[in-house]
């Protein structure tokens, strides 16, 4: 349990760095930035840490919020899929 919080904080810092790079860039690529953020936040160790730290039971209101958020985050038909190799080259 001691490693979860540093793992999550590291992911947040990395995500903030990507957002800062996007905001400071003259040549902004939102789709690539989102793909990088997903890559950071969906790393196996980050997901595991989040699962270990979250409460076992979500309340009804929280469940509704999770469902609403997932609907908002569902990929659109016109979304571009970016491969890991493309992300590595861009990074």
Which region, left, alpha or beta, applies to residue 80 given φ > 0 means left and ψ of -120 to 50 means alpha? beta
- Residue-wise pLDDT for 41-76, tens only, equals 999 999 988 888 775 544 555 666 666 666 666 655
What confidence score (pLDDT) does residue 72 get? 66
Take residue 1 and report the two structure tokens written for it. 């349990």
> DSSP string of 20-73?
HHHHH-SS--HHHHHHHHHHHHT-HHHHHHHHHHS-SS--HHHHHHHHHHHHHH
- Residue-wise pLDDT for 4-52, tens only, equals 889 999 999 999 999 999 999 999 999 999 999 999 999 999 998 888 8
- Token pair 């997903």 is found at 38
């Amino acid at each position: 349990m001691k490693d979860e919080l540093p793992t999550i904080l590291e992911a947040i810092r990395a995500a903030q760095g990507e957002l800062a790079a996007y905001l400071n860039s003259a040549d902004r690529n939102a789709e690539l930035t989102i793909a990088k953020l997903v890559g950071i936040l969906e790393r196996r160790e980050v997901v595991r840490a989040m699962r270990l730290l979250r409460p076992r039971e979500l309340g009804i209101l929280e469940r509704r919020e999770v469902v609403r958020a997932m609907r908002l985050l569902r990929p659109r038909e016109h979304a571009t899929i970016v491969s890991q190799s493309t992300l590595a080259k861009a990074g």
